Structure 1
Amino acid sequence: MTTNGQMEFTTADAVVAELVRAGVEVVFGVVSIHNMPIYDALLREGSIRIVCSRGESGAANMADGYARSTGKLGVVITSTGSGAGNAAGSLVEAWAAGTPVLHLTGEVSSKYLGTGRGYIHECKDQLSMMNGCCKEAYRLRKPEQAAAVVRQAIQNATTAPRGPVSLEIPIDFQSAIIPNSVIEAVQAVTAQEVAPHIPAEVTKLVAAARRPVIWAGGGVISSEASAELTKLAELTGAAVITSQSGKGSIPEDHPQCIGHFAAYEDVKALLKQSDLLISVGVRFRGNETANWKVTAPEAHISIDADWSAFNRNYEITHGLLGEAKAILNALNEELAAQSVTPNAEYVTEVKSVREKIRGILRDTLGPYEKFVDGMRKVLPKDAILVRDVTVPANVWGSRLFEIYEPRTSIHASGGGIGQGLPTALGAQTGQLDRVVVLMAGDGGYMLNVGEMPVAVQENLPLIVVLFDDQGYGVLRNIQDAAYGRQVAVDLVSPDFVMMAKSMGFEAERIGSPEEFVAELEAAVARRKPSMIVVDMNAVGPMAKPFGGPPGAADSFKPKKL
C-alpha cells in the first residue's frame, strides 16, 4: 500500500519487523485469507525463509522441531478457527517439551469478534482454545500496539520456563496503517550479571554425598548446560539418569551415564540406596517413573526455572530457581574449591549397573540388536535422531542408540503419535548440514504423511526409517497383556515404497538387518530425501514383546477404584 509513492507501514510490517529483530530466519505455515497480509509483508521484507507445510498441524510440529534442533525461536503461521485448531495438538506437544515457539494466527474481522454471526473461519472462543494448548495466548486489541505485543510474545516464549505462545491478529488489523514506532527497552542502570548464590547447606550436602544421583531433563538442554552437568557428575562421582527429553545432557558413552532407564529395576534399586538426588530441569513424567512408583531419596536438591516444578511430583529438601547453566556452574566452582573426592567404589557400581541394564535390554531385541548397532556405526556422531511413538523407538531407539551431543535427540514429549515426520522436517530445516533420521511406525506415520513433499520442495535430505507391522504395534501388545485380545489395531496401508517415490523420495523395502545397514549407508551418502521401509514380518519378532511403559497393561484391566 502506497501514499504519494511511499510504502505505508502496516501492522503486518510491524509483525515482520519484530521477527527480523528477534533473529528469525525461517517461518513455517499455511497461507490463508486470514494471514495473507503477513505473508505479503514477509515477501516484501525478503530475509526470512518461508516453508509451506501441507497442514497447520505439520507446520506447528516443524516449528517445534526447528527450535529443538537449533535452540532458536520456532515460528508458525496459521489461519483462523479450524486452521488454528489444527495446530492445537502440535502446540500441546511444544508445551509439553518446553519449546520456544511463536504461533501467529489470524482472527475474524474485529467488529465480528464474539458475535457468532458466521464470519468465515469464525471460532466461538479461539483465544481460550489457544491459551489451553500454549504457555500463554494473546490477542492484538489495537493495531498500533503490534510491535510491542509481538515483542512481548517472543520474550515470553523464549524466557524460562520456555514454551509456545500464541498471538491472534484480526484480519482487518493486519493491513491497518500504523506509525512505524521505534520501541527500545531502556534501563537506567545496567547491572553486571551476578553469579547465582549457592546456599552453604546445599554445597555441604552435595560435597558430603557418597552415593549421589543426578536426574537430568530437558531443562539442561534448553539452558545449554550439558558441559556444566557433565562436570558436576565427574566432580561428585554421581550416576546420571536422563529423562527422554534430557538425552544428550551428558554423552551417553560416559561411564557414569545410566541414561533413559529410570524405571528399570536395577536403577530403581540404585536410587533407593542413594543418599542424594540432584534433579535438573526434569518433570518426572508418569510414563518415565512407572507413574511415580520410582522411589527418590529423602535428600533432594531440585534445580529448575519453573516455580511450579518444586514438590510437584517428588518432594524436595532444597529448590534452586533459575537457569541450570548458571546454577550448575556456580555449584561446580564451590565444589572444586572444596576438593571433593568421588566415592571410587560407588563409581564402579554405577558402571556395573549401566552395563547390566543395557545387557538386559539387548537380550529382548532379537534381530533388532543389529539394527541399533548398525545405525550407530553408520550415522555420524552429531546426527539428529527424531523418534515418533513406535515400538522400535520406545524400546531401543530411545535407550540403546547412544546420543553424544545436546539437541541431537528429539522425541514426542507429550506421547502423541504421528508428529515425527513434520518435527524431523523442521529439525532438518534448522540443521541442513546434519544427517537427520526419523524412526516411525506405519500407523502413526499416516497421520501426517501429506508433509512428505515438503522435503522435496525444500531440498531436505531427511532419512525416514519406517517400521511396518501393518498396525499399531504398541497398542497390540498392551491389549494382549491387558485383555488377551485385540481391537482396532490392524491397518491396511499403502505401498510405502511406491508412495514415497511418487512424492520424490528414494525408497527401498528391506527385510533383514544386513539389508537395512546397506540401505542406510546409501541414504546417508546420497543426501536426498530417502525412505527405508522395514518389513517387520520379514525381519522377525523381538525376543520379548514390548508391552508399553511399566504398568501400562495393569492400568487397563478391570478394577475397583
Structure 2
Amino acid sequence: MSPQVQMEFTTADAIVQELVRAGVTTAFGIVSIHNMPIYDAILREGSIHLVCSRGESGAVNMADGYARATGKLGVVITSTGTGAGNAAGSLIEAWAAGVPVLHLTGEVASPYLGTGRGYIHECKDQLSMMEGSCKKAIRLRKPEQTAAVVRQAIQDALAAPSGPVSLEIPIDFQSAIIPNHPLEEVRFPAQSNHLALDLPKEILSKITKARRPVIWAGGGVISADASQEVKQLAELIGAAVITSQSGKGSIPEDHPQCIGHFAAYELTKKLLKDSDLLISIGVRFRGNETANWKVTVPKEHIAIDADWQAINRNYEVTHGLVGDAKQILHKINQELSKKELHPDPVYLDEVQSVRQELRGALRATLGPYEQILDGMRKVLPRDSILVRDVTVQANVWGSRLFEIYEPRTSIHASGGGIGQGLPTAIGAQMAFKDRQVVLMAGDGGFMVNVGEMATAAQENLPLIVVLFDDAGYGVLRNIQDAAYGRQVAVDLLSPDFVLLGQSMGFVSTRIGSPDEFVSALENAVESKKPTMIVVDMEAVGPMAKPFGGPPGAADAFKPRKL
C-alpha cells in the first residue's frame, strides 16, 4: 500500500527537502508525538532510510559514528524535553570530537514556550540545555523561514571547526502549511586561501633547516582529508609522526616514521624535548593525551588549524597558520619539493628505534592479550573500522598497538564517556555495510546502551562486538587500588551475555583462551551476521601488568593540600 499523498507543503516537508538537498540518505532517532510530522514527511519523500534506535542517547551516537566513518553530515531526530535531555550527553561527545551532526528536536507548542504550564514533554529551558551540549543551538521562530534555518544549521555543523548543531521546532510549527518558494544560494568563485598561496618564507626556512622535526597529527587532519599530505610532508623532511587519539589513521601505522598515539610516554616525551621543530596539525592537545599538559614541546612550533581559537590554547605557537590543512600542507609540500632536502638518517634510525621500543614495552604488559591483539589484526581486513568504548583493553592496546592504516577507520570516545561504543559502531556500520566494523567494549560500559543491540539486529548489520567481561569497571578498579589501596562501587552483576546476545539476534559465544578467540573471530568475519564474542577475562587470565589509567591518574585522587 503506497503512502497517502499530501498535497499541502508544510514545515516538515521543508525540513526533509533541505536534508535531501544536503545529500542525507540515512537518519537516526525515535519517533514521538513531538516529531511525528517530520517522520511522516520523511516517509512520504521516500529517499531517507530511518534507523529506529532504542534511546535518544544511542541515536545521537549512531549519527556521530556515521559522520565519523563517512565525513558526511550525521542526522538525528529526537523528541522534546526528556528526549532532548537524553540526547545531550551524546551531543557533548560529538562536540568534543568535532563531529558534524544535525540534531532535530521538537518543542512544545509555540504559545506555551517558557510558560511552565505543564505542557507534555515541557522543559524549563531546552534551548539553553542544547546550547550547552552543542556547537550551536537554534530555535525555529517562524515556519516560513524553515528552509533558510535548516540550511544554515547544516552549514554551521559542517563548517570548520565542525560540530553538532541542535535545531528545535515547536510541534505546532511542524504541520504548518507554508509556501514552497525556491531558496537559491548565489555563489561566486571561491577566493584562494591566501596562506596556502603565499606562505611566509620564515616558515619554509625553519622547516627546511630542522634536523629533528616532529609532526603531531590530530583529528583535524582526518576532517580536512589531509592524510596523504601529512605522509608526504613527513617523508620530505624526515619527521617523526605522533598522532592524537582522533588523529589515528593520519599516516599508516606500519610506516617506519609513525610513533603513533604515544605522546605522554617517556620515550616520546624525550623525543619531543630534543626536537628542534614541532608541526602540529589539527591537534587539540587534550589533557589526558599530554599528561595534563606536562609534555614539553619544542620552542619552535608551527601550528596548522582551521580554528582560530586553537592557536596558543594549550601550547605556545611561534607560527600559526589558520585555514584548511589540506591546502596549507599541499602548498608547503609543493615548495619543499623544489628544494634539496636531506633528512638525517641517524635521526630516522632513532625515530624507528623509539617506535619499536614503545611497542615492545607495551606488548610486554599484555600477557595473553597480546595473542588476541595479533589475532585481531591478522584476521580483520585492512580497511576494517575499529570502534572502541572506554575499557582497559581498548585504552591499553586497542588505541595504540592495533594498527590503523586508513583515515576514518579508528573511532573512540573523545570526551571519555563510557557506553557510547555500541551505538557509535552501529552508525559506522550503517555507513559501510560492506565493510567490517568491530567494537571493543567492556561489560560495564556495554550495559549503558545494551538495548541498541536490537537496532543492529533489526538492520541486519554484520557488526562484531568483542566484549571484555571482567564483571566490573576494570579501569576504575586499578586506579582505586593505586590511589587508595581499596575498591568501591566497581563490581557489577552482569547478565549471561551469550544468552542476552542470542535473545537480541546476535550470534554469540563465550571464549576463555586466545586460541578460541581467534577461531571465533574468523567465524564472525565469515558469517557476516551480527556477532558477539564474550572474552571471559578470568579464564583468559590477567595482563602481565595492570593498567592504572592515564599517566598521573592515581595521583590526582590521593589526599593533598590545595
TM-score (norm 2): 0.98
Matches of 2:343 and 2:337, distance apart in 1: 12
Other-structure match for 2:262: 261
Q: Name 2:327's counterpart in structure 1.
A: 326
Q: Tell me whether 1:456 sits opposite 2:457 in the alignment.
A: yes
- The secondary structure found in structure 2 opposite 1:183 is coil
Percent identity reads: 77
Alignment partner, residue 351 of structure 1: 352
CA positional deviation for 1:456: 1.1
> Aligned partners of 2:263 and 2:393: how far apart in 1?
18
Instruction: Give the partner amino acid of 1:265.
Output: E
Secondary structure of 1:251 counterpart: coil
* Aligned match of 2:81: 81
Which residue is 1:67 aligned to? 67
- Tell me the SS of whatever aligns to 2:169: strand
Residue 337 of structure 2 aligns to a residue whose secondary structure is: helix
TM-superposed CA distance for 1:492, in Å, is: 0.2
Aligned to 1:382: 383
Cα shift readout 1:109-151 (whole Å, capped 9, x = no counterpart) = 0000010101000001100100101000000000000000000
Instruction: Determine if the alignment matches structure 1 residue 234 to structure 2 residue 220.
Output: no
Q: Secondary structure, in 3 states, of the residue corresponding to 1:366? A: coil
CA-CA distance at 1:340 after TM superposition: 2.0
**How far off its partner does 1:192 sit?**
5.6
Which secondary structure does the structure 1 equivalent of 2:77 belong to? strand
Partner residue in 2 for 1:109? 109
The letter for the 2-side match of 1:203 is: L
Deviates more, 1:409-418 or 1:332-341: 332-341
Please say if 1:173 is aligned against 2:179. no
Task: Give the counterpart letter for 2:464 in structure 1.
Answer: I
1:48 lines up with 2:40 in the alignment: no
Question: Shift in Å at residue 197 of structure 1?
Answer: 2.5
The alignment status of 1:342 with 2:316, answered yes or no, reads no
- Unaligned residue ranges in structure 2 (runs of 5+): none
Say yes or no: does 1:538 pair with 2:530.
Answer: no
The one-letter amino acid paired with 1:190 is P
Q: Give the distance between the partners of 1:510 and 1:324, measured in 2 at CA.
A: 45
Distance 1:341 1:38 in 2: 60
The CA distance in 2 between the partners of 1:199 and 1:141, in whole Å, is 46
Q: Which amino acid aligns with 1:459?
A: N
Partner AA of 1:19 in structure 2: L
Q: What per-residue deviation string (whole Å, max 9, x for no partner) do you get for residues 224-258 of structure 1?
A: 10000000000010000000000000000000000
Q: For residue 211 of structure 1, what is the amino acid of its counterpart?
A: R
Q: How do 1:86-101 residues align onto structure 2 when only pairs under 5 Å count?
A: 86-101=86-101
- Aligned match of 1:124: 124
Cα distance in 2 for partners of 1:308, 1:177 equals 42
2:166 is the alignment partner of 1:190: no
Secondary structure at the residue paired with 1:460? coil
Q: CA deviation at 1:440?
A: 0.1
Question: Offset at 1:6?
Answer: 7.0
The residue identity in structure 1 corresponding to 2:135 is K
Deviation at 1:193, TM superposition (A): 3.9
Residue matched to 1:291: 292
Q: CA separation in 2, counterparts of 1:182 and 1:342?
A: 57
1:20-54 deviation digits (Å, cap 9, x = unpaired)? 00000100000000000000000000000000000
Q: Which amino acid is the alignment partner of residue 371 of structure 1?
A: I
| Letter in structure 2 aligned against 1:486 | Q
Q: Distance in 1 between the 2:190 and 2:420 partners? A: 43
Could you tell me which amino acid in structure 1 is paired with residue 27 of structure 2?
Answer: V
SS at match of 1:552: coil
Q: 1:453 to 1:6 in 2, by over 3 A?
A: closer
State the alpha-carbon separation in 1 of the partners of residues 302 and 191 from structure 2: 27
Structure 1 residue 339, shift from structure 2 partner? 2.5
User: What corresponds to 2:160 in structure 1?
Assistant: 160
* Matching residue of 2:253: 252
Q: Following the alignment from structure 2 to structure 1, what is the Cα–Cα distance between the partners of residues 79 and 191?
A: 43
DSSP-derived class of the 1:54 partner: coil
AA matched with 2:9: F
Name the structure 2 match of 1:138: 138
> Which residue matches 1:19?
19
Q: Please give the secondary structure, in 2, of the residue aligned with 1:132.
A: helix
Structure 1, unpaired ranges of 5+: none
- For 1:191 and 1:534, locate their aligned partners in 2 and report how far apart those are by CA, in whole Å: 53
Instruction: Give the Cα–Cα distance (whole angstroms) in 1 for the partners of residues 257 and 60 of structure 2.
Output: 36
Aligned AA for 1:259?
G
Deviation, 1:341, is 1.9
Alignment partners' CA distance in 1, 2:434 and 2:200? 44
SS in 1 for 2:532: strand
Report the equivalent of 1:422: 423
- 1 CA distance for matches of 2:211 and 2:130? 47
Q: Which amino acid aligns with 1:201?
A: E
Deviation at 1:323, TM superposition (A): 1.3
| Cα distance change of structure 1 residues 494 and 217 upon mapping to structure 2, 3 Å threshold | same
Closer/same/farther in 2, CA of residues 18 and 395 from structure 1, 3 Å limit: same
Read off the aligned partner of 1:10 and give its amino acid letter. T
Residue 471 of structure 1 is matched in structure 2 by 472
Instruction: Report the secondary structure of 1:7's partner residue.
Output: coil
1:38 aligns with 2:38: yes
Distance in 2 between residues matched to 1:268 and 1:504, nearest whole Å: 47
Q: Does 1:510 align with 2:511?
A: yes
The 2-side partners of 1:433 and 1:191 are apart by: 36
1:428–1:182: structure 2 CA closer, same or farther, 3 Å change rule? same
C-alpha displacement of 1:342? 1.1
What do residues 181-239 of structure 1 show as CA deviations (whole Å, max 9, x unaligned)? 2111114x424645443211111111110000000000000111000000000001000
Taking a change above 3 Å as real, the CA distance of residues 487 and 234 of structure 1, as seen in their structure-2 partners, is same
**2:179 partner amino acid:** P
SS at 1:455's partner residue? helix
| C-alpha distance in 1 between matches for 2:377 and 2:103 | 35
The separation in 2 between residues aligned to 1:114 and 1:343, in whole angstroms, is: 66
Amino acid at match of 1:536: M
Cα distance in 2 for residues equivalent to 1:365 and 1:6:
61
Q: Distance in 1 between matches of 2:149 and 2:28?
A: 20
Letter of the 1:227 counterpart: Q
